[in-house]
């Protein structure tokens, strides 16, 4: 036996982890994988349910139009309006699923650039004001005049995240509705904190921990009304914020002092 072979045998090291540690790690990995599979199955179950509903409505309307020759113009117009509305809902849901899939599978989807936070928020706010959806609501811009801190974001995707928050506020805010877009500097002066607040109906306390989950089924996180969807807006928003190096939180109250505030924390460049 050569001297080199003897040295190799002598320098053999036992595994750093014990059998017990390895077993524990394997057990935890299996539990995590099982949880992900369960979440994925629940997600696809929810999506299939949400897609079937408008499809069934469209098919029913078409079958009614095909089976009746004496439908008056008013009824026919109502059916066409229903078909168009449900088709828009399908388009909206498919687009949400597509965006969520892209965000989940691509590491380089966002193309960030450095922008002044105050100027960016002002531009977004004034463009949002032009949306007819908000013509009967009070929109407030609460950003300091000289808020020149720079942030690194993909403005197209950040616009989508803020759009989702404004739309969420619009869906759950009724008479004398008010939505406020604000910004401030964090206490440590290393982050900007962007907020979207409303005086809407609020979110029940027990639902708050789950509102960003893509599988959450509560009405408070889904899309009631004319543009029904799969409730993925807040999940998409959260992913965009996290891919931008930040995080998002929500506080909300129901009852007489009702309202909801979403806060986005982003690092300063």
Distance (Å, rounded) from C-alpha 231 to C-alpha 212? 9
pLDDT at 256 over 90: no
Place of tokens 């969420």: 168
State if pTM tops 0.75.
no
pLDDT at 173 over 50: yes
Place of tokens 């687009």: 95
pLDDT at 4 over 90: no
What confidence tens digit (pLDDT) does each residue in 51-102 have?
788 888 899 999 988 887 788 888 889 999 999 988 988 887 888 788 888 8
pLDDT at 228 over 60: no
Residue 194 near residue 121 (C-beta atoms within 8 A): yes
Percent of the chain at pLDDT > 90 equals: 41
Where are the extended beta strands (E) located within the chain? 113-116, 138-142, 150-153, 178-185, 191-198, 247-253, 259-267
**Average pLDDT across the chain, whole number:** 82
What distance, in Å, lies between the first and last C-alpha atoms of the chain? 62
**SS3 at position 169:** helix
Which of the residue ranges 191-200, 209-218, 243-252 would you say has the lowest mean pLDDT? 209-218
Q: Give the model's pLDDT for residue 123.
A: 96
Distance (Å, rounded) from C-alpha 249 to C-alpha 246? 10
Distance (Å, rounded) from C-alpha 158 to C-alpha 111? 11
Cross-strand pairs, 142: 182
Domains within the chain, CATH numbers bracketed: 19-105 (1.10.287.130), 113-267 (3.30.565.10)
The residues near 161 (Cβ < 8 Å, ≥ 6 apart) are 236, 237, 240, 241, 264
What integer is the mean pLDDT of 215-220? 48
Question: Which two tokens mark 15?
Answer: 């595994």
Question: Which two tokens mark 54?
Answer: 């408008």
């Amino acid at each position: 036996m050569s001297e080199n072979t003897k040295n190799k045998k002598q320098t053999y090291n036992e595994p750093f982890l014990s059998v017990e540690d390895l077993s524990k790690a394997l057990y935890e990995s299996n539990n995590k994988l099982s949880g992900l599979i369960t979440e994925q199955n629940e997600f696809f179950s929810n999506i299939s349910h949400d897609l079937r509903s408008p499809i069934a409505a469209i098919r029913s309307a078409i079958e009614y139009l095909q089976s009746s020759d004496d439908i008056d113009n008013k009824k026919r117009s109502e059916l066409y309006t229903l078909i168009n509305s449900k088709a828009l809902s399908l388009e909206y849901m498919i687009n949400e699923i597509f965006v969520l899939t892209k965000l989940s599978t691509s590491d380089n989807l966002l193309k960030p650039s450095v922008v002044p936070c105050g100027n960016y928020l002002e531009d977004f706010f004034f463009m949002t004001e032009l949306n007819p959806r908000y013509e009967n609501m009070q929109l407030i811009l609460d950003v300091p005049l000289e808020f020149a801190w720079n942030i690194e974001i993909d403005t197209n995707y950040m616009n989508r995240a803020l759009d989702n928050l404004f739309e969420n506020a619009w869906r759950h805010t009724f008479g004398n509705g008010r939505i406020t877009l604000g910004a401030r500097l964090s206490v440590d002066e290393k982050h900007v904190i962007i907020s979207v607040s409303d005086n809407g109906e609020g979110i029940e306390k027990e639902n708050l921990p789950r509102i960003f989950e893509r599988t959450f089924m509560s009405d408070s996180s889904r899309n009631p009304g004319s543009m029904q969807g799969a409730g993925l807006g807040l999940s998409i928003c959260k992913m965009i914020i996290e891919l931008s190096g930040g995080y998002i939180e929500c506080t909300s109250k129901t009852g007489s002092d009702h309202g909801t505030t979403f806060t986005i924390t982003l690092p300063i460049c």
